[in-house]
């Protein structure tokens, strides 16, 4: 989906988030995501585009669902 910006350039809405955006979405720091990526700690999928790391919103939502814990009373 695209929208026109005031300057005539097309703005493309993407479901790919930057590391900063993904960190905000998950409530963790960018450094935490970088460590998880390097260590494979939570097996959080990411996409490499050149030197950039991107995260699919659907993968972040799945990660949240997988890690949702409830306590039994």
CA 11 – CA 46 distance, rounded (Å): 23
Bridging pattern class, strands 47-49 and 16-18:
unpaired
pLDDT digits (tens, 9 = 90+) for 14-65: 789 999 999 999 999 999 999 999 998 899 999 999 999 999 999 999 999 9
CA dihedral defined by 54, 56, 57, 63, rounded to 10 degrees?
-100
pLDDT score, position 69 = 85
The full set of domain ranges for the chain reads 15-66
Bridging pattern class, strands 47-49 and 2-4:
unpaired
User: What are the backbone dihedrals phi and psi of residue 63, each rounded to the nearest 5 degrees, phi first?
Assistant: -60, -45
User: What are the backbone dihedrals phi and psi of residue 65, each rounded to the nearest 5 degrees, phi first?
Assistant: -60, -45
């Amino acid at each position: 989906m695209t929208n026109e910006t005031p300057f005539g350039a097309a703005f493309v809405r993407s479901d790919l988030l930057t590391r900063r955006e993904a960190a905000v979405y998950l409530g963790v720091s960018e450094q935490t995501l970088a460590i998880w990526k390097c260590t494979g700690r939570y097996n959080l999928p990411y996409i490499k585009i050149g030197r950039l790391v991107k995260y699919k919103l659907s993968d972040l939502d799945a990660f949240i669902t997988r890690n949702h814990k409830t306590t039994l009373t």
